[in-house]
């Protein structure tokens, strides 16, 4: 296997391989880097797996700058000659409850025991790093074949039960790489979704996975469609409504650039509180702190046309007068100041208003509120 780094990075990798030989451990590339290289993509972030204790190994090397250490997981963030490299110890993990964060049962296990804790066969391929910069492939789950076939397979039958977010990660890989779930995986997924166990589900882990799933505007609506149609929403809740045509129309109406953010908020946020009063002032006050994404999600969840009134007619209305200006005009400090500014705003929000400039606002105040 060939991995193309630049000369500087190659020298660093070679030096690390020599240090591993001296220290008596084996080091590997594993997971996404190996998968991407096998798929003909350039490697991005450099993560190195140490068959043993990564913290002890890194501390033994004098040319490595340690940025942070996570002792519980046996991981180290480092900087070497200006290049960020993360090191992880091989480890065995256990899931006390379905969907919860795993706890580390052992650090420094055999490479095979580490690989089996991973999500899909395509991410459970290791490449041992040698001083010659040859890379010895370790593929005990036939991940290389699955890459060629474009198939997503988990490593054991309880994988989706242990971590249901693997369903969402699988959807991400499916859309990114045009892969499919294996027939057996489809059965395992549907079996879990028939009776999802949410008691120990890590919401943070779900949100992190959804953030990645909806990080691409190009794939966001396709991800939403599968999230709904395939019932993947049952990881989180019993019911979920998605209408692609309605989404596409709302995205155009509110001129949304970050489609993924709309999808994410639509999934995660509770139904909004709707406006009680329908005056233009109350509409403005209700929505004035909403972003365009917030407005779009609110509209999708409520179908409230006041959202469009705010977006199209009221959003850019601004009062130039300040309380200090009113004091300079001779009005007394107190509740009257707020009342005046509200009336100015209400007048500017009115249809066909002729109050546009600062001077217009001053004239309106003078004729409406006598000193």
SS3 call for 95 = coil
pLDDT value of position 306: 93
Q: Is 119 within a domain? A: yes
pLDDT value of position 112: 95
What CATH number should be reported for the domain holding residue 106?
Answer: 3.30.460.10
Tokens 């209700």 found at: 286
Q: Is 44 within a domain? A: yes
**Final residue before a domain boundary, out of 242, 263, 281:** 242
Average pLDDT, the chain: 94
Q: Is 298 within a domain? A: no
Question: Is the same domain home to 175 and 105?
Answer: no
For the chain, report the end-to-end CA distance as a whole number of angstroms.
Answer: 85
Judge residue 103's burial from the number of C-beta atoms within 10 Å of its C-beta, 0-12 exposed, 13-18 middle, 19 or more buried.
exposed
Question: Is the same domain home to 136 and 168?
Answer: no
pLDDT at 276 over 90: no
SS3 call for 124 = coil
Q: Quote the CA–CA distance of 176 and 246 in Å, as a whole number.
A: 24
Q: By residue range, what is the domain housing residue 43? A: 7-149
Both tokens assigned to 15: 């030096």
Residue pLDDT, tens place only, 44-72: 889 999 999 999 999 999 999 999 999 99
Q: Quote the CA–CA distance of 214 and 268 in Å, as a whole number.
A: 12
pLDDT at 137 over 90: yes
pLDDT at 1 over 90: no
Q: Is 310 within a domain? A: no
β-strand partners of 65: 79
Q: Which of 188, 179, 263, 265 is nearest to 220 (CA)?
A: 263
Question: Is the same domain home to 108 and 96?
Answer: yes
Sign for the pseudo-dihedral over CA of 118, 124, 128, 134? negative
pLDDT-derived band at 337 (thresholds 50, 70, 90) equals: very high
Q: Is 299 within a domain? A: no
Q: Quote the CA–CA distance of 362 and 321 in Å, as a whole number.
A: 8
CB atoms within 10 A of CB 292: 18
Question: Is the same domain home to 203 and 232?
Answer: yes
DSSP string covering 224-278? HHHHHHTTGGGGT-S-----HHHHHHHHHHTT-S-HHHHHHHHHHSPPPPPPS--
DSSP string covering 331-349? PPSSHHHHHHHHHHHHHHH
* Verdict on whether the full-model pTM lies above 0.85: yes
pLDDT-derived band at 274 (thresholds 50, 70, 90) equals: confident
**Final residue before a domain boundary, out of 149, 178, 209:** 149
Q: Is 328 within a domain? A: yes
Task: Count structural domains, the chain.
Answer: 3
pLDDT at 163 over 80: yes
Q: Give yes or no for a contact between 192 and 159, defined as CB atoms under 8 angstroms apart.
A: no
Q: Quote the CA–CA distance of 369 and 371 in Å, as a whole number.
A: 6
pLDDT at 5 over 90: no
Note every long-range contact of 129-134, with CB atoms under 8 Å and residues 24 or more positions apart, other chains counting: 129/13, 129/16, 129/17, 129/20, 129/27, 129/28, 129/29, 129/48, 130/17, 131/14, 131/17, 131/18, 131/21, 133/10, 133/13, 133/14, 133/17, 134/1
Q: How many CA atoms lie within 13 A of 266 on its CB side?
A: 32
pLDDT at 3 over 90: no
Question: Is the same domain home to 46 and 26?
Answer: yes
Sheet holding 65-70, edge to edge: 65-70, 75-80, 83-89, 46-51, 26-30, 126-129, 135-138
pLDDT value of position 105: 92
Q: Quote the CA–CA distance of 221 and 256 in Å, as a whole number.
A: 13
pLDDT value of position 300: 96
pLDDT value of position 20: 96
% of the chain with per-residue pLDDT over 90: 88
Q: Which of 40-44, 116-120, 282-286 has the lowest mean pLDDT?
A: 40-44
**Residue 264, CA distances (Å) to 44, 96, 212, 300, 361 in order:** 26, 28, 10, 13, 41
Q: Which of 138, 102, 105 is nearest to 119 (CA)?
A: 102
β-strand partners of 89: 50
Q: Is 163 within a domain? A: yes
């Amino acid at each position: 296997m060939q991995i193309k780094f630049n000369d500087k990075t190659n020298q660093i990798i070679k030096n690390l391989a020599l240090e591993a030989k001296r220290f008596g451990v084996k080091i590997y590339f594993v997971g996404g880097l190996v998968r991407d290289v096998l798929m003909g993509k350039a490697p991005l972030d450099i993560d190195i797996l140490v068959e043993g204790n990564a913290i002890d190994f890194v501390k033994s090397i004098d040319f490595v700058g340690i940025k942070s250490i996570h002792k519980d997981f046996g991981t180290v963030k480092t900087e070497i000659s200006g290049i960020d490299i993360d090191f992880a110890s091989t480890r065995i993990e256990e899931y006390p409850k379905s969907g919860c964060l795993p706890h580390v049962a052992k650090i420094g296990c055999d490479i095979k025991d580490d690989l089996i804790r991973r999500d899909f066969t395509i991410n459970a391929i290791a490449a041992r790093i040698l001083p010659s910069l040859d890379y010895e492939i370790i593929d005990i789950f036939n991940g290389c074949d699955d890459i060629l076939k474009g198939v997503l397979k988990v490593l054991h039958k309880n994988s989706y039960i242990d971590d249901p977010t693997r369903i969402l990660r699988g959807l991400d890989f499916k859309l990114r790489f045009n892969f499919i779930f294996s027939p057996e995986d489809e059965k395992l997924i549907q079996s879990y979704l028939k009776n999802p166990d949410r008691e120990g589900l890590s919401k943070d882990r779900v949100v992190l996975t959804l953030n990645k799933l909806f990080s691409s505007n190009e794939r966001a609506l396709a991800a939403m469609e599968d999230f709904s149609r395939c019932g993947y929403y049952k990881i989180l809740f019993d019911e979920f409504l998605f209408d692609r045509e309605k989404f596409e129309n709302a995205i155009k109406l509110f001129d949304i650039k970050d489609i993924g953010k709309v999808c994410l908020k639509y999934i995660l946020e509770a139904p909004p509180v709707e406006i009680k009063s329908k005056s233009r002032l109350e509409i403005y006050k209700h929505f004035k702190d909403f972003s365009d994404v917030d407005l779009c999600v609110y509209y999708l969840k409520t179908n409230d046309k006041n959202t469009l009134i705010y977006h199209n007619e009221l959003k850019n209305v601004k009062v130039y007068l300040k309380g200090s200006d009113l004091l300079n005009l001779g009005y007394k400090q107190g509740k009257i100041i707020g009342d005046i500014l509200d009336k100015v705003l209400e007048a500017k929000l009115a249809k066909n208003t002729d109050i546009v400039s600062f001077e217009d606002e001053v004239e309106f105040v003078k004729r409406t509120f006598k000193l």
